[in-house]
Each structure stands twice: as C-alpha cells, then as structure tokens.
C-alpha cells in the first residue's frame, strides 16, 4: 500500500485534541460559536475538535477543492458556500485539515470576512509551511509537518484513505 508510513499516530492526534481545544477556547470570545469546516478533508478533525470544545456551537460547511485527482494542487480554488450557515455578527471558528500553499485558506477567509462575523479564528490540523505561496497563518495548529503528501484522518488521495485513524505519508509506487 502506498500509505504505510505513519507520520502522526492516532494516539498523538487524540492526545493533542484536548490541548488544542483548550487553546482555541481560551482565544474565542465567550458564548456560542459557529464552526465552519472545509469539506471534505476537515470533517473528521472538525467534528472531533467541535466536541472537544464543549461549547454551544452550530456547524457550517464549505466545500473547497484545488487538487482534483492526484497529489499536486491545480492552483485553481473552487469553493461552494451553499451550506455555510449564518455568519454575520457571530463568533466563527474556521477549521481545515491542512494549511499548504495557502490559496484555499486565504480565499475561504476572505469569503468569511465579507460576511461580517463578530470574530473569526482559524484552526488547522496540520501546517506545512514549506509549501506556502500565500503569506497566511492559522491562529491554531495541531501539528507542523514537513513537505509530505499525507492521507488519513479525513485527508485523501482520489477519495481513498480518509477513514484511516492516523496521518500517513502517501508515496505512490
């Protein structure tokens, strides 16, 4: 299998979640939060983090894609906001799986800011700064990683490997 090498174990993820939730909670204003997850990659992490926050929360979703088939970003970001939910005047937490080149993250933040939230915080499971093409950073990061194409815990390659409980390096044969 081209995804045998574990980069971040299930135990490491489950250990990091409560600490990350505490960090996010300390930075968010009091009261309810509207959590926006970028589909499909952030869904597993996003749900786990949302539960760990133990706050009154509503959920919204953005579908974003820049990869298509394969392991290289096509550089064209497509975003569907149909299930975003109400943003104006609310405290919003944007959750994504990985901050890579920064194009998707930057475009998503611009969309959310245009809807006038009361506050906006960002959280990513993984940050891959070596590939950054846009000067952007997440407020909260689960793990910083080297320049690997990774799968598992929501991340995929051509829709495969999303349900792995850990993060693995994908190395096509």
The CB-side HSE value for 163 (13 A sphere, CA atoms) comes to 1
The two three-digit tokens of residue 108, written as one number = 């998503």
DSSP state of 59: E
**Catalytic member of 48, 97, 100, 166:** 100
- Is 100 designated active site? yes
By the 8 A CB rule, do 142 and 16 touch?
yes
By the 8 A CB rule, do 140 and 125 touch?
no
Query: In whole angstroms, what is the distance from residue 16 CA to residue 138 CA?
Result: 16
Residues with catalytic function: 100
């Amino acid at each position: 299998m081209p995804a045998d090498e574990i980069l971040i174990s299930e135990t490491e993820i489950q250990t990091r979640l409560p600490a990350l939730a505490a960090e996010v909670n300390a930075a968010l204003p009091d009261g309810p939060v509207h959590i926006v997850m970028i589909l499909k990659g952030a869904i597993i992490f996003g749900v786990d983090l949302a539960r760990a926050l133990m706050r009154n929360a509503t959920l919204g979703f953005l579908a974003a894609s820049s990869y298509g088939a394969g392991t290289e970003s096509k550089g064209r970001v497509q975003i569907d906001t149909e299930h975003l939910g109400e943003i104006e005047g609310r405290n919003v937490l944007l959750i994504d799986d990985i901050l890579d080149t920064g194009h998707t993250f930057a475009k998503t933040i611009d969309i959310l800011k245009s809807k006038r939230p009361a506050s906006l915080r960002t959280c990513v499971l993984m940050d891959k700064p070596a590939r950054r093409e846009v000067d952007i950073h997440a407020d909260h990061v689960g793990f910083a990683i080297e320049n690997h194409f990774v799968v598992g815990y929501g991340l995929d390659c051509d829709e495969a490997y999303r349900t792995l409980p850990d993060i693995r390096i994908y190395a096509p044969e």
